[in-house]
Amino acid sequence: MSTPEQWMRVQGELGQRLYLILDSAGQLDERNALLNEWDNDQYRNLYIGTPASSLAAVAPYLFQLDTLDHPIIQALLKSPERHWGWLASSASGDLDLLTQHWRARLVTGERPNQALYRFHDNRVLGRALAHLSPEQRSEFLGPIASVCYWQDGQWAAAYNPAPGEYAAPLDPAWLAVPSAPDTAAGIQIDNARRYLMVEQMEPLAELASQQDADTWIQAQLELARTWGWQVPEQVRFLLVQRLQAPGDALPKSWSPQLDETPQAHFQRVYQEVQFWQGDATV
């Protein structure tokens, strides 16, 4: 096990520059404090200029560090269980080069089935590095020489055998890495929370003032899984509709009918909601 301080010492001896990948969700106060202190040429928003630019307010950030000896950085290092992101080193001081590399690996799939790849989540990073071959690891990390991250209750460090510039492959190996059940569930809750923060901020804030928002989101995701609603459009529809009246019981008509497929079930409920909202006829 390598502590961040030990890892940083080795990187310094190798002449590497230090970087922080910070997840904004859950760390908005820390992110904003760093933005206020750092110069504009020392950080980048990783969603700007990508298909995820509408989510820029909750995007992960790339910060260039001179040291880990900063109150905010130290506070993050003392609470790794918050899964706030990870540390990286690179011989390159070109922040735009590193930003371009990760933006190219952010969005997966084709419209309308695009999804965000959460490389900024230390759990996702750790699982990818554990499954990739040395060549695939270089394609994944690109200009980054080494990373330090929290994984399975301890600090871990990993190294890139051939740092450099790599085009994103058409079929990235890291997208085929299986997710642990608890990791996949946590990522799904994170993604749902982010979506609601952007699209339904006021109702979500009202919900959070009355009950634990993540517990409520988890219950809706479990309901979606029970119904077989796994397409993002279906999950988002359920989240938004339930958020409008989070304490109310489900309408009886929303229950799946005998021998009804998940898609037919969704279309029936969707058309019913559209009808009562005056947007469609049934």
Q: Check residue 35 and give its pLDDT.
A: 96
Inter-residue contact 198 to 54 (CB < 8 Å): yes
Distance CA 143, CA 58 (A): 25
* pTM score above 0.75: no
Query: 165-181: per-residue pLDDT in tens?
Result: 999 998 899 988 876 66
Distance CA 242, CA 261 (A): 21
Query: 224-234: per-residue pLDDT in tens?
Result: 999 999 888 89
What average pLDDT is seen over the chain? 88
Any idea what the Cα angle at residue 235 is, between residues 229 and 238, rounded to 5°? 100
Whether residue 1 has pLDDT greater than 60: no
Inter-residue contact 100 to 44 (CB < 8 Å): no
pLDDT-based confidence at residue 61 (cuts at 50, 70, 90): very high
By C-alpha distance, which of 202, 179, 197, 192 is closest to 237?
Answer: 192
User: Three-state secondary structure along 262-273?
Assistant: HHHHHHHHHHHH
**What DSSP character marks residue 42?**
G
Q: Check residue 278 and give its pLDDT.
A: 62
Whether residue 280 has pLDDT greater than 80: no
Q: Is 86 exposed, middle or buried (0-12, 13-18, 19+ CB in 10 A)?
A: buried
Q: What is the mean pLDDT of residues 217-221?
A: 91
Q: Check residue 277 and give its pLDDT.
A: 72
Query: 186-210: per-residue pLDDT in tens?
Result: 677 878 887 888 788 888 888 887 8
Distance CA 128, CA 117 (A): 11
pLDDT-based confidence at residue 182 (cuts at 50, 70, 90): low
For residues 183 and 58, the model is more confident at 58
3-state secondary structure of 89: strand
User: How many CB atoms lie under 10 A from the CB of residue 24?
Assistant: 24
* Per-residue CA distances from 207 to 188, 204, 216 (Å): 19, 5, 9
Query: 26-47: per-residue pLDDT in tens?
Result: 888 999 999 999 999 999 999 9
Inter-residue contact 132 to 174 (CB < 8 Å): yes
Q: Check residue 72 and give its pLDDT.
A: 95
* Per-residue CA distances from 159 to 117, 139, 194 (Å): 21, 12, 31
* Per-residue CA distances from 5 to 2, 76, 84, 259 (Å): 8, 13, 17, 59
Domain ranges across the chain: 4-176, 182-276
Q: What is the mean pLDDT of residues 235-262?
A: 88
Q: What is the mean pLDDT of residues 143-169?
A: 95
Distance CA 26, CA 4 (A): 21
Q: Check residue 149 and give its pLDDT.
A: 97
Query: 91-146: per-residue pLDDT in tens?
Result: 998 999 999 999 999 987 666 566 788 899 999 999 999 999 999 999 999 999 99
Inter-residue contact 166 to 97 (CB < 8 Å): no
